[in-house]
Chains A and B, each alone.
Chain A
């Protein structure tokens, strides 16, 4: 990814889970603004990378720098308070709380900025419709919308999103693309994906991870135009997703 104006930088990050090394020296620059995609197959280390950035799993060595703050050894709540939001693969919704309570929890002081809330309702009308309903009653797509709404209920400098399209219907994925474009106007998004079509339609830059190592970085347009490169890096082709 780009070298200048980094929102986030990972430098030779190694992460172990128990006896197993998952990340073998991940180095990554996430530029300020826009959507930046981390692509890779199942088990390549995408989720581990995001969890390591959030401090949910500890980096064994290497450095993670977010806007001049070394966050490598920081506790997760301190990392979040620097302005990083995280939307995990399982969405992390609190099913026993209402939509409103889920959102309230993510607001800094428990109150809502009306302007931001209206924007969220415009992006995801279902959030307004189910405002006082328990989150466990929402559909999979609505839960994903809630997870993303929660991440943007306050202004964040960086949003880490792990496979938001997993298991979602194409119509909802299209709504997600529009929403991410809107969100990316005010913040930086690091998106982990396997769905190349979705990633291609959003990403400004792309990094490909395989076996815990970054094997390719560059503009998304370059990868999108080079099917041979896609096949080599991802063992997939655009046709396979169409």
Chain B
């Protein structure tokens, strides 16, 4: 039985099981809408979480400031979209998409640059010291939130959504939001790119090896600290990209957006297993689906549902579903 399940996909069947189970509880058209929403939400959380998971896995660094990149990504994307309002609301689909891609690119570039600064100034002095890592990265998060307040103010900001991504695609009597489909496809493209880099390149090989045994990678002649800067920058850039996409999804953002998302991001990293992008994707999809299904079935349990999911998985698999290092 166990072998058959493993052959069919093992833990990858879990989101499918969640979907099938809820199909008996929710009308089909609503279920389809919720499933697409859950997948889109999952992909955006995956963007935010995958970098953090690699950072945890590669250098054992607890970065509670990761959500600052999510917040900055959201606000930078909102500003770029506002500046390109004529492109965003115009009739040209190409200009609509170009505006969104520019906004995402600006957020991602900022995330990479800020990630470099953050790693050099905040994280590097506290390598190998978890308590200090928590303190300084939490401190940096507070500073980042105050910076956002100073730059963009404390009033919620409306994020213009490109006209071409407004509205829904109707399939029969099922309405699927266009933006959610776009977010899902973008997340999927990023996952495929990350997978190929990790599986098909020498840098990817080094990262996977470093997640398992940093010391041995150094003993083979590679400078893990240089590799880590690259991973930290990429992780921060992805978090900012996730923030940019989330801004468009929410359409209204506040400076605490990142901190609010961080709970879900940490749940995903823990559920998925440290250092594994496959685990992050699996965890993010499960969190996205669970949040949407439970919000429909038992709205009062929406916040608690993912915590319960995390506890259940940790009781079953203490190191997460797909940890990079098999214990």
Contact = CB atoms under 8 A, between A and B. Distances in A.
A88 B213 CA distance: 12
A75 B221 contact: no
A1 to B, nearest CB: 23
A125 interface: no
Nearest to A136: B326
B219 A76 contact: yes
A94 B213 contact: yes
A101 B218 contact: no
Interface string A50-86: 0000101000000000000000000111001100001
A75 B223 contact: yes
Interface in B201-236: 202, 205-206, 208-209, 211-213, 215-224
A5 interface: no
B216 A94 contact: yes
Interface residues of A, number: 21
Contact of A56 (B208, B212, B215, B224): B215
A195 B217 CA distance: 28
Nearest to A80: B221
Nearest to A91: B216
B202 A110 contact: yes
A105 interface: yes
Given A75-B223, A77-B223, A96 B326 contact: yes
A105 B325 contact: no
A86 B218 CA distance: 10
A110 B203 CA distance: 11
A63 B216 CA distance: 23
A43 interface: no
Interface of A: 54, 56, 75-77, 80-81, 86, 88, 92, 94-97, 101, 104-106, 110, 136, 150
Interface of B: 202, 205-206, 208-209, 211-213, 215-224, 324-326
25 contacts: A56-B218, A75-B218, A76-B215, A76-B218, A76-B219, A77-B220, A77-B222, A80-B219, A80-B220, A81-B221, A88-B216, A92-B213, A92-B216, A94-B212, A95-B212, A96-B208, A96-B212, A101-B208, A104-B205, A105-B205, A105-B209, A105-B220, A106-B220, A110-B205, A150-B220
